[in-house]
Amino acid sequence: KFPHLSSPLRIGGVTLKNRILSSGHDTVLVQDGRVTDELVAYHEARAAGGVGLIVVQVGGVHETARYTTHVLMATDDECIAGYRRLAQAAHRHGARVFGQLFHPGREILESRDGSAPVAWAPSATPSERFHVMPRAMSPEEIREVVDGYGAAARRLREAGLDGVEVVASHGYLPAQFLNPLVNVRNDRYGGSDENRLRFLHEALCSVRAQAGDGFVVGLRISGDELSHDGLTTARVLETTARLDADGLLDYVSVCAGSSATLSGSLHIAPPMSQPAGYTAPLAAEVRATVNVPVMVAGRINQPQEAEQIVAQGWADACAMTRALICDPEMPDKALQDRTEEIRACIGCNQACIGHFQRGYPISCIQHPETGRERRFAVLPPIVRRKRVLIVGGGPAGLKAAAVAAERGHEVTLHEAARRVGGQVLLAERLPGRAEFGGAITNLEGEARRAGARIVTGSRVDAALLRAAEPDAVIVATGAVPRRPALELADDPVVLDAWDVVRGAETPRGRIVVADWRGDWIGLGVAVLLARQGRRVVLCVTGFGAGEHLQQYVRAAMLGDAVRAKVQIVPNVRLYGADSDTVYLQHTLTEEPVLVEDVSGVVLAQGHDPVTELTDLADALPGRITAIGDCVSPRTVEEAVLEGLTAAAAL
């Protein structure tokens, strides 16, 4: 069904069994710079699922490359044992394994405890996003780092990896050297294109020299950094053509964006508002400059999209990294003609890159087994087949149904509405969130395929619960919008955010959206209303809108808000309203803040749990487990994890 995607690919001296790869991505499954058993298990799960190539996350080549506290390091021989275990685990399943050689240059997070190294860069040009002013590297320091690339490559070869790639993407150190707006040196590493290429050229030569013949050496580069001061496609094409002509490359891996700016960084893990496979034309341009295979990454979520990209000659292989985070078995399912079973990634970024940015181990909102392979990948066999009744078909209930049925229990799920999905069905109607509903399609499919019976339009009450005589009840009845106690005079128009999404009539004129939570609901409703011609004032309790969103999702949604002319008022709490004024209070000064000439207020004030059935726990002792929003309102990710945990405990 996927003739191009399933065909082998020769890269240097190595053959990939198919054209699907997991590109390098941080996992936070690293401890003290070393590979852990958790990281091995994580990658082994993808290898077992049929992926052709695993590119292991960035490995620092020099002490100054520690860009986070949980970066993998390849700076001494002690790293070899961990890399070896990882390579062996992936090889057992026929996957090839490459490493990434990395230095972030100025793109380094300031450590909270002062332990981060001073950022090294070609010149003292600041990073806009991390507010870091680096210092210019001396020629001796350049030599040290160049040697570091070679030494790290030698270690990874000794560890049994099949190859490495030098990370020159996303505005990291080699890209900083290439970029005339960042590199303003006047020595042999700056001043001309030839000189600006020298650092990367020397790094690749060092890798070739120290790793020896037969070891694959590639380059990862953004085809366009898509930033005001980023590398342009023209500069990238000159670079790849020259490096290939000099025989330094076995492949090029193309992505887009830059770490240095908010707008550029969102292409590192493009959110669902970006079109599928949008970087493929960049890869095609690079491919025209070189004689080696080209890989591409950039929201390629489905095998059909990847097949098209390869079939049309835009690239030779596709990085489907989040698709694999979400469903490690995606390659096997695709290539064995089981595409309808694929749990498609929805590009929410919440638990993959979102976790990395908060310092938590990688996971997936739809598949919490990810990053927890050692705990959940294989659940123990059940002792006795139980009759399990699940109340509520939101993400928590559906996940519980899928896992419980998969384990062999007799599962019936009752959903009061006509469709399963709960609040996700509303979330998908917000601007830029259309794919969110895919999470429900996936979970429902999993539950049904596992044999769970799903009854919609069925409201469970205490009597039904007792009459059904279940062995176990999982209550996942969800939540309703929270209406805080407000001072309301003169009959103001007050709506809940979900009312607006459902299409409730919203007054013309100026609307205040009062957002307490800082997630996508307040921001999304604000953009929705602004696009419907309302003048929207988004009042938030935090320092800015969307504070709880993953950075790239937030950057995309805030960009939409700016374009839609949403006015954002930070640090205010809602106090009350009358027919034309909204009364707020500043969270820093406690002083009153008034928004006048208002025709309505939309509340995005979080949720209250629906506890009707959870209150019955005493009536059915030991048999009721409450999960999800009905315990206390939570994210989809938390709800799905709870569904898994509850079903695993049956």
Residue 585: how many CB atoms within 10 A of its CB? Answer: 15
Q: Which residue of 176, 259, 366, 614 would you call a contact of ligand SF4, by CB under 6 A? A: 366
Binding of ligand SF4 by 273 (CB under 6 A) = no
Q: 293-318 burial by CB neighbour count: b if 16+ within 10 A, else e?
A: bbbbbbbbbbbebbbbbbeeebbbbb
Q: Which residue has the tokens 């790849």?
A: 240
Query: Rounded to whole angstroms, how far apart are CA atoms 33 and 47?
Result: 23
Specify the residue, 365 or 501, whose C-beta has the smaller distance to ligand SF4.
365
Residue ranges in 144-163 that form contacts with ligand SF4 under rule CB under 6 A: none
Q: How far is the CB of 272 from ligand SF4 (least distance, A)?
A: 8
Minimum CB separation from ligand SF4 for residue 357, in Å? 12
Asked if 491 and 597 count as a contact pair (C-beta separation under 8 A), the reply is: no
Identity of the residue, 54 or 388, whose beta carbon is nearer to ligand SF4 in the bound complex: 54
Which C-beta is closer to ligand SF4: that of 6 or that of 321? 321
Among 364, 389, 529, 650, the residue binding ligand SF4 under the rule CB under 6 A is: 364
Task: Please pick, among 172, 189, 251, 552, the residue that the annotation labels catalytic.
Answer: 172
**Chain centre to alpha carbon of residue 247:** 35
Q: Which run of H or E residues covers position 147?
A: helix 139-158
Q: Which is nearer to ligand SF4, 134 or 328 (CB)?
A: 328
Q: How far is the CB of 56 from ligand SF4 (least distance, A)?
A: 18
Cβ nearer to ligand SF4, comparing 360 with 543: 360
C-alpha span between 369 and 645 (Å, rounded) = 10
The least CB distance from residue 22 to ligand SF4, in Å, is 11
Which of the stretches 154-162, 282-290, 331-339, 364-372 binds ligand SF4 when contact is defined by CB under 6 A? 364-372
Identify the helix (H) or strand (E) that includes residue 456: strand 453-456
- Is position 189 annotated as part of the catalytic site? no
Cα atoms in the Cβ-side hemisphere of radius 13 Å centred on 210: 20
Comparing CB distances to ligand SF4, the nearer of 29 and 345 is 345
What's the closest the beta carbon of residue 329 comes to ligand SF4, in angstroms?
Answer: 14
Residue list 481-510, contact with ligand SF4 (CB under 6 A): none
Q: Are strands 624-626 and 472-475 parallel, antiparallel or unpaired?
A: parallel
Q: How many alpha carbons lie under 13 Å from residue 526 in its C-beta half-sphere?
A: 31
User: Of 100, 261, 274, 350, which lies in the binding site for ligand SF4, with binding defined by CB under 6 A?
Assistant: 350
As a whole number of angstroms, the distance between CA 557 and CA 214 comes to 46
State the minimum distance, in angstroms, from the CB of residue 431 to ligand SF4.
18
With 0-12 CB in 10 A as exposed, 13-18 as middle and 19+ as buried, what is 469?
Answer: exposed
Residue (of 580, 422, 412, 557) closest to 490 by Cα position: 580
List binders of ligand SF4 among 309-348 (CB under 6 A). 322, 325-326, 345-348
Indicate which single residue of 16, 101, 231, 365 sits in contact with ligand SF4 (rule: CB under 6 A).
365
Instruction: Kindly list the catalytic residues.
Output: 172
Site residues for ligand SF4 per CB under 6 A: 322, 325-326, 345-352, 364-366
